[in-house]
Structure 1
Amino acid sequence: MVRVVFTPNLQRHIACPPVEVEGRTVREALEAAFADNARARAYVLDDQAGLRKHMSVFVNGQRIQDRAHLSDALPENAEIYVIQALSGG
């Protein structure tokens, strides 16, 4: 199982509690996490199903490499963190 966690700043905008899902890639895990949450999916992924520019995803503390296809492989018992990137000065 893979644990998908959405940071508190994201949860302020969209209901997206942590979930345990099956998945061999980041895409499979996120699609499973979004299966019953289309609003969260639309907030995190763009119309091409890639990661939106203002979002970041980390697997076990490492930023994913493939933002377009989300094909990064997941180790067993991985933790995925979905983060809304912040900017400013």
Structure 2
Amino acid sequence: MQKHPPRNHEKRIQIMEYMLNFATEQGRQPSVREIGIAAGLQSTSTTAGYLKRMVNEGLLAKSEKAKRSYFVTGYAAEMLRGKAS
């Protein structure tokens, strides 16, 4: 049985690429609201749902100590680099 990519795979890629670029350019992580706006999501609740699912899948991690606490994992960054090759 072939495993299919998660629903909204392209949206997840878009979110991760935005987060990596934002962190590089701004020197900090984006807020949930900034991520949602960049991804074209309608609400912070929808954005938070995406982020939570991505944490469960190992694409993002969350630090409990930071305000802007979501960041792209090394695994996901490598996956994105492989996509660009």
TM, length-normalised to structure 1 = 0.32
Structure in which a larger fraction of residues adopt helix: 2
Higher relative contact order (CA 8 A, sep 6+): 1
**Which entry has the higher C-alpha Rg, 1 or 2?**
2
Larger strand percent: 1
- TM-score norm. by structure 2 comes to 0.33
